[in-house]
Chain A
Amino acid sequence: MLAEKDQVFLKNESNEIRKLIIRFSNPELSNHFGGPFSSVEIMTYLYMFVMKDMDLSQKERDKLILSKGHCCPTFYALLGRRGYLSEEELHTYKKLNSPLQVQPDMKRLPFVDFSSGSLGQGLSVAVGMAIANKMKNSKNNIYVILGDGEIQEGQIWEAAMAASKYRLDNLICFLDKNNLQSDGNVCDVMPIEPVAKKWETFGWFVTEADGHDFCQIDQKFKECSQASGVPKMIVCNTVKGKGVSFMENKYEWHSKILSNDMKLLALKELEGMVC
């Protein structure tokens, strides 16, 4: 069970991260909010708890691939909270010459473990990294965050087979299942259910969690650590746009302009959240 103080810390961090994302969003441009907000708790847990003591400028450590690359505002905000980026640097997001590209770019920002953006490719790369760690006898884990719309890509299932064949128990995947994608409901655009069963059939250890509940994420993550010889998948049930009521469960907030007035409204709501 996650200690009380850790729970409070993580909840507080996730709230600060949402506020940061709102603050550095560009009020003149369309910004991704839905996906970044649904993945806040998953990524906060990984960067502020599991990898908390790891120096992100070092090469030999656990790695995280944000396969749904457009959720990188959450990652950038986390780098800000961990002291790798200043708020001033965060405000360069989406601006010309910025290391904070709209999709994470490892060549411009060294803390990015692998560039992403084109959906469906991150899991294959993670499989390659996990095989590499096995070859090197390294104990480091590889984490991947996939979107539920993203798993419509065929390459995901090619990678799922390979992870199973090579018994990659150092590969832990989080499915940010917020049930919405760019054009609407996942179940309308292209149904993916039964998700858990699909991954199980592909030879993965599968478990489910409320993706906004740190205790559940922690519990399921620890369950995964027990399973050996198989890759692991935590299906995280999440809410797209989580934390800002006018964004929640609205597919149009996948990417949209947030005006300065609306920014204030969103910040007010997040300020009011008691942790």
Chain B
Amino acid sequence: MLKYETMQEYSEALLYQGETNQRIVVVDCDLGEPSGTKSFRERFPHRYINVGIAEQNAVGVAAGLASEGFIPLVHSFSMFASLRTCEQIRNSLCYTNMNVKVVGTRAGISNSYLGATHHAIEDIAVMSSIPNMVVVSPCDGKEVRNALKASIEYDGPVYLRINKTNTENISKNDFMLGKASVIRDGRDLTLIGTGDQVINCVKAADTLMGYGLSVRVVNMSTIKPVDEQIIVESAKRTGAVVVAETGNMLNGLGAQVCRVVCRERPVPVRIVGINDSFTETGSYYELMHKYRIDENSIVKAALESVNFKVPVTAGLPDEFKDDIA
């Protein structure tokens, strides 16, 4: 199967968006090359700003550009794009609801060999907790293109979280802000993944099929606003949920899913994420394995979740029984 490098896809998509929309301005913080902005810079030098290693200023400059009608895209590694700039994003971007896109590249642990200081494991929680911010997390090269287009079309602040991965395309061509998509359907359990965990969910689902389980896989490509409808529907349909994310398991997508599940349809939920610890230098796959966020961890969590299921149909009134597949 053909593989697509997400940053290469982003680079081409950005160039295409730059061609079609004259209001797009790229703001870089000396990480243009790994952020995929080089071709944009060469093609549109008059719409390219590099403020150097000064992420806080980058966000402010972007806010000023947006207030004058431009659509700035600020680029840095996710770690710095979300945390070094956190207060500027809150007060200069989100409080003012500016039309700025913060593009965090090499999200999660995909900056593998640059080590713990460059791994973004808190960005989902931090960006999601700022009012007005939309958090988007595409799962493959194709979805990076679709997510960029949709983020630019949306009038307001967006944090676009891109993992650096090289995988086959698994997303459907149905990206919509705030809407998750069902990659495959099943009855016994739902795996909800975001970003680079969606492919792990698909692989885990294959393994689980071998154990005789029918598994639904959901690609939660927008983390905020989270698609509550699909979470409720999945809980009702399958009665057990696993959420997989490449980030701290506290306060991320898993927490959002739990909030919705607890309120609408309590069923067992397991979260596969980094267990509140810092990471280290290593290869992407070594880190996935060591910090228990790989496909095997999802399989294990899935079996736990299914085993924890209570035969809820027993004592339920008839009208609720239909909800359980």
Chain A residues at the B interface, C-beta cutoff of 8 Å: 105-107, 113-115, 117-118, 121-133, 135-136, 154-155, 158-159, 161-162, 166
Contacts and interface: CB of A to CB of B under 8 A. Distances in A.
Nearest to B25: A135
In the complex, which of the residues B47, B57, B60 has the most CB atoms of chain A within 10 Å of its own CB atom?
B57
A275 to B, nearest CB: 37
A115 to B, nearest CB: 5
A107 B87 contact: no
Interface in B157-192: none
A126 B57 CA distance: 11
Tell me whether chain B's interface is mostly helix, strand or loop, or mixed. helix
Given A135-B46, A135-B47, A159-B57, A124 B68 contact: no
Interface centre among A107, A113, A158 (most CB of B within 10 A): A158
Contacts of A154: 56
Nearest to B70: A132
Contacts of B63: 114, 124-125, 128
A136 B70 CA distance: 10
Given A118-B91, A129-B68, A131-B49, A124 B60 contact: yes
13 contacts: A107-B95, A114-B67, A115-B91, A121-B91, A124-B56, A129-B64, A129-B65, A131-B64, A132-B64, A133-B68, A135-B47, A158-B52, A158-B56
A13 B51 CA distance: 40
A225 B57 CA distance: 26
A234 B70 CA distance: 29
Given A132-B68, A159-B60, A162-B61, 12 more contacts: A114-B64, A115-B92, A121-B56, A125-B60, A125-B67, A128-B65, A129-B67, A132-B64, A133-B68, A158-B56, A161-B54, A166-B49
Contact of A158 (B25, B51, B72): B51
* 7 tightest Cβ-Cβ pairs between the two chains A and B: A128-B64, A124-B60, A132-B68, A158-B57, A158-B54, A128-B61, A129-B64
B58 to A, nearest CB: 8
A118 B87 contact: yes
Interface in B5-20: none
B24 to A, nearest CB: 12
Contacts of A166: 49
Interface string B214-234: 000000000000000000000
Interface in B105-143: none
B156 to A, nearest CB: 12
B62 A128 contact: yes
Nearest to B62: A128
A132 to B, nearest CB: 3
A131 B58 CA distance: 12
Nearest to B56: A155
Contact of B61 (A118, A127, A135): A127
B64 A121 contact: no
Contacts of A126: 64
Interface in B50-92: 51-52, 54, 56-57, 59-70, 72, 87-88, 91-92
A129 B62 CA distance: 9
Contacts of B313: none
Contacts of B88: 121, 124, 155
A158 B67 CA distance: 20
